[in-house]
């Protein structure tokens, strides 16, 4: 978009022969004068376009993204003293070597968010079952969930405005926590994504005082604190990021009104300038980072928002040495569509980087008795590329959360529910299972942190920490090589 065209080129382009008389009335001016004239016109147009772009269209950066450094038009820098903490839920009874990496718990992070809250708490969640009574269990390990619910029920009397956006509860997913919250003074909106996008509201995040956030795999479920393996991220004192996540919350909130429909396009105040092309530049624990939030489904993405699928693909494509993926389920299909649909988008990119860039790809999958049996042959097909003739290095392992007799009776528990990816460049912490539906119909979100410019060894980055978590699990006694013989049915209890 810069006037790279030289005067000489302009003379050629606009040589008298090519100009029809109607376009150039009167005697032709001398060549040099015309060149100056054209340059002046071009310059004026460029300046006008710049002004329009800067003042009127701050979000339509794609217009310019081809050439100029877009960042120079958009003030994407943030001086908040952001602190980032990876947080995990490690199911009871699951133990690692003494010296292995350990993260603060999800329970601690939620407790801290509740304690720090001063004015607002906004939570987006799939469903709520923080108490034993919700699951008809009497497990002592529900106490952490019950403590979190008790903290949430006190927010209104502390004068803290509490808003909850939730998928419409079904008979299987109870709503007594929501009733209690509503009675305590919280505002609740059911976001009917089944009607709006044929998906569900599957995202899980907290925003406190438009300043602190949690985002990750943990549902608002007592089992997500003590019986299911979860990974998420808490970011404190980071209003620029929290306000951006707030725009996603406001979108859910608007869709939670009765009979709401999805606006197209979304009003300008839902737009963002933080995305994969122009990430938010900030310091996380004092270390420079480029950060953005992605969202799905595409219909919920306002202008400028990176679609979650695009975020996933760009992290895979951008890897130079390795990609490690830890997700609960992985299917190159539309998991819930009838008739069945093949959806190899992510699968293709993984195979491509392994084949073309010799990127080392590792997948660490969750598995439990509810895993879809078709997942295993598809994983086996990925792992089958590992061969000294293809020179591909793709490995797949299953992470099995052990359960004793009592634990095995807890419904829908004892599984690795992680949804993250770490490459040599980037940390990606998301909320979606990896199959087509989650990216095309279901509401999910992810935080992408790029600290690839940081010199190694200065201070561990969140990417370093996420990689350490992955390596710990990959090399742990709970991870198993994907067998080619089909014993996963026994291993996972899949039927
Ligand atoms: C199972 O493990 C839990 C937590 O480690 C323990 O409290 C419980 O007693 C165990 N139950 C059995 C039957 O071993
Ligand atoms: C932890 O300790 C064991 C043995 O003490 C050692 O083999 C292993 O390499 C150590 N792991 C880390 C991450 O330091
Ligand atoms: C956030 O900032 C406040 C005020 O500066 C400080 O007291 C608090 O420790 C910070 N929180 C974190 C997690 O760094
Ligand atoms: C945008 O403006 C509308 C109308 O004022 C408001 O209801 C909505 O919450 C705003 N959205 C965001 C993301 O601030
Ligand atoms: C929503 O739609 C239903 C049925 O189409 C209608 O009965 C109801 O009045 C509508 N509610 C609102 C608030 O528009
Ligand atoms: C990370 O940021 C660098 C520039 O700071 C960029 O070149 C690279 O493409 C980014 N990586 C990914 C995967 O987004
Ligand atoms: C993620 O995938 C698993 C396995 O297919 C499924 O059981 C689970 O319900 C999915 N997550 C959610 C909460 O939709
Ligand atoms: C290729 O791998 C096979 C076993 O997987 C092994 O027997 C063979 O020696 C390998 N060839 C080379 C050239 O490394
Ligand atoms: C950032 O600082 C917090 C303490 O404030 C610490 O718990 C966390 O591990 C640090 N994160 C990184 C990526 O260094
Ligand atoms: C400086 C620069 O990046 N120039 C590029 C502008 O875009 C054209 C076509 O998209 C490229 O050919 C230039 O290299």
pLDDT in tens, 157-193: 999 999 999 999 876 655 899 999 999 999 999 999 9
pTM of the full predicted structure?
0.84
Q: Is the pLDDT of residue 283 over 90?
A: yes
| Pairing of the two strands 161-166 and 120-125 | parallel
Identify whether the C-beta of residue 311 lies closer than 8 Å to the C-beta of residue 420: no
Bridge partners of residue 397, in order along the sequence:
364, 481
- Tell me what pLDDT residue 485 has: 60
Residue nearest atom 14 in ligand 4 by C-alpha distance:
269
Quote the ligand 7 centre to 432 CA distance (angstroms): 9
Residue 71 pLDDT > 60:
no
Q: Ligand 10 atom 1: the closest Cα is on which residue?
A: 67
With a cut of 50, say whether residue 64 has pLDDT above it: no
Mean pLDDT of 198-217: 97
Which tokens in the block code for residue 132? 């034993």
Nearest CA to ligand 4 atom 5: 269
- What values do phi and psi take at 371, rounded to 5? -60, 145
Torsion from C-alpha of 58, 63, 68, 74, nearest 10 degrees: 10
From the CA of 309, how far away is ligand 5's center (Å)?
34
* Residue 168 CB-density burial (10 A; 0-12 exposed, 13-18 middle, 19+ buried): middle
Looking at residue 52, the DSSP 8-state letter turns out to be: I
Q: Is 93 in the pocket of ligand 1 (CB under 6 A)?
A: yes
Tokens of 473: 């699990």
Question: How many angstroms separate the alpha carbon of residue 195 from the centre of ligand 5?
Answer: 14
As a whole number, mean pLDDT of residues 279-302 equals 96
- To the nearest whole number, what is the mean pLDDT of the chain? 87
Instruction: Give the integer Cα–Cα distance in Å for 212 and 109.
Output: 10
Q: How does pLDDT run across 315-324, given as a tens digit for each residue?
A: 999 999 999 9
- Contact 80 CB / ligand 3 (< 6 Å): no
> Whose atoms come closest to the Cα of 403: which ligand?
1
Nearest CA to ligand 5 atom 1: 259
Tell me, in angstroms, the distance from the centre of ligand 1 to residue 406's CA: 6
Lowest mean pLDDT among 111-120, 166-175, 223-232, 307-316: 166-175
């Amino acid at each position: 978009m810069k006037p790279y065209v030289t005067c000489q080129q302009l003379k050629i382009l606009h040589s008298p022969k090519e100009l029809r008389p109607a376009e150039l009335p009167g005697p032709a001016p001398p060549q040099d004068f015309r060149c100056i004239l054209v340059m002046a016109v071009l310059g004026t147009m460029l300046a006008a376009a710049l002004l329009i772009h800067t003042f009127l269209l701050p979000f339509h950066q794609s217009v310019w993204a081809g050439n100029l450094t877009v960042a120079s038009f958009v003030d994407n820098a943030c001086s908040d003293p952001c602190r980032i903490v990876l947080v995990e839920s490690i199911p009871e009874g699951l133990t690692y070597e003494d010296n292995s990496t350990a993260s603060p718990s999800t329970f601690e992070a939620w407790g801290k968010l509740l304690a720090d809250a001063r004015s607002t708490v906004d939570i987006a969640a799939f469903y709520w079952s923080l108490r034993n009574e919700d699951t008809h269990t009497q497990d002592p390990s529900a106490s952490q969930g019950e403590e979190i619910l008790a903290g949430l029920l006190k927010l209104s009397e502390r004068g803290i405005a509490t808003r909850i956006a939730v998928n419409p509860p079904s008979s299987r997913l109870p709503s007594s926590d929501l009733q209690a919250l509503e009675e305590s003074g919280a505002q609740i909106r059911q976001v009917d994504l089944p009607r709006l996008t044929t998906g569900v509201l599957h995202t899980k995040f907290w925003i406190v005082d438009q300043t602190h956030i949690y985002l990750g795999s943990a549902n608002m479920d007592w089992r997500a604190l003590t019986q299911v393996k979860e990974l998420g991220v808490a970011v404190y004192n980071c209003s620029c990021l929290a306000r951006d996540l707030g725009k996603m919350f406001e979108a859910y909130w608007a869709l939670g009104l009765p009979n709401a429909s999805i606006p197209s396009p979304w009003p300008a105040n839902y737009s963002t300038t933080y995305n994969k092309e122009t990430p938010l530049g900030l310091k996380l624990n004092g270390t420079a980072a480029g950060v953005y939030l992605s969202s799905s489904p595409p219909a919920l993405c306002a202008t400028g928002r990176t679609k979650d699928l695009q975020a996933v693909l760009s992290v895979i494509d951008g890897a130079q040495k390795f990609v490690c993926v830890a997700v609960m389920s992985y299917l190159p299909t539309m998991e819930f569509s009838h008739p069945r649909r093949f959806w190899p988008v992510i699968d293709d990119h993984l195979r491509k980087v392994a084949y073309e860039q010799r990127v080392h790809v590792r997948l660490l999958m969750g598995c439990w008795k509810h895993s879809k049996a078709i997942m295993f042959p598809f994983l086996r097909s990925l792992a089958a590329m590992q061969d000294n003739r293809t020179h591909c290095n793709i490995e797949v392992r299953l992470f099995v959360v052990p359960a004793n007799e009592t634990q095995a009776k807890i419904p829908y528990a004892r599984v690795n529910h992680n949804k993250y990816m770490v490459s040599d460049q980037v940390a990606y912490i998301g909320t979606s299972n990896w199959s087509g539906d989650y990216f095309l119909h279901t509401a999910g979100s992810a935080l992408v942190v790029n600290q690839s410019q940081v010199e190694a060894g200065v201070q561990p980055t969140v990417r370093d920490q996420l990689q350490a978590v992955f390596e710990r699990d990959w090399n742990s006694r709970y991870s198993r090589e994907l067998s080619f013989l089909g014993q996963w049915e026994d291993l996972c209890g899949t039927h």
